[in-house]
Structure 1
Amino acid sequence: MAKAESSEDRVVAEIEKKIKEAFEVFDHEGSETVDVREIGSIVRSVGCFPTEAELHELLAKVEEEEPTGYVHLEKFLPVMTEVLLNRSYRPIPEDVLLHAFEALDENKSGYITKEELVKHMTEEGEPFTEEEMEEMLSSALDPKTDAVHYRDYILKLIVEDADDLPQ
């Protein structure tokens, strides 16, 4: 007689499925390996937002003893499952994000131009890579105005985070 699946088992199975799907997007050869440089994108695509230092710590856990430049799904899956179960690398709270955008919005207009955002995100603090910047702009930028209406963008981020994990 098969044992009934517990709700915890279902949550773990759902999380593992989500991780595998994200991993497969970057596994171009279907070999259950991805380029180590893709791990940050995979981690962010499942709703985790580590700092570069945290990402390096994560990579240290999943890379082979002899780094090959590739990460295997079998090494990545248990580490990333634990990250999601523990809700590590959560996004910054809504009010903190709003305050940060308002500080960048010198005219208090409710938006930041694409140029201003790119300048701030690539030249200050922990700079975004070109790929990270493109990823952010693809979801943040209003194509009609070529600006980031940050209250709308923050709401989009909050909704995406709420949909992140099974309840």
Structure 2
Amino acid sequence: MDEFWLETQRDKIQQAFALFDKEKKANINAEDAATALRYLGVYPTEAALKADILPDLQGGDESAPVSFDKFEAKVLNMMASREWEPDTEDVLLQAFKTLDENGTGSIDANYMRELLLSKGSPFNEKELESFMAGARDHGGGNVIYYEDYCSRQWTPSREQGR
């Protein structure tokens, strides 16, 4: 691995971990570890998180905290493999367009909620609320204007450092 890349990623991982390590004990809980992964641009499926990643980070004990050392090593490997990178803006836009049967540029938020809770790897309630808070029309409507949502997700800082 490139030494500059490695040091840059280590700094990012340390900063992300510190956001959740409120007691400064170099440990975070599993839910926070999953959130920190996504914050770092690593997006494993819920199935992969539950079956492989979190058990590995917790040493097979579901109640165990995740240590910084284990988290850093695992995240560096995941970043290097690029297996869990997010889809591109174009892929996400196309997925939304597939759901937009009338070509209006919008999707009913209740319909999206139903899909996210029942299809593929279903969202949990916290994930759903987080998504809806960022995606729903902030003008008080019950609509998701997906092109606006996608453009907010892809900022220059998000695409740098990959």
Normalised-by-shorter TM-score class: 0.7 to 0.9
- Structure 2 unmatched runs, 5+: none
Could you tell me how far apart the structure 2 residues matched to 1:53 and 1:123 are? 15
Please provide the CA RMSD for this pair.
2.2
- 8 Å Cα contact 2:135/2:144 also seen in 1: yes
How far the C-alpha of 1:66 sits from its partner, in A, is 4.4
Counterparts of 1:15-164 in structure 2, within 5 Å, are 15-56=9-50, 57-64=52-59, 66-144=61-139, 145-159=141-155, 161-163=158-160
Instruction: Give percent identity, aligned residues only.
Output: 28
> Normalising by the residue count of structure 2, what TM-score does the alignment of the two structures yield?
0.84
Could you tell me how far apart the structure 2 residues matched to 1:78 and 1:96 are? 30
Paired AA for residue 17 in structure 1: D
Could you tell me how far apart the structure 2 residues matched to 1:85 and 1:43 are? 13
Deviation track 1:29-65 (CA, whole Å, cap 9, x = no partner) reads: 2111111122221111111111123223222332225
Deviation track 1:128-162 (CA, whole Å, cap 9, x = no partner) reads: 01111122223322311442211222233333641
> Normalising by the residue count of structure 1, what TM-score does the alignment of the two structures yield?
0.82
Could you tell me how far apart the structure 1 residues matched to 2:61 and 2:142 are? 45
How far the C-alpha of 1:67 sits from its partner, in A, is 4.5
Could you tell me how far apart the structure 2 residues matched to 1:153 and 1:39 are? 25
Report the more deviating stretch, 35-44 or 93-102: 93-102
> Matched residue pairs, number?
159
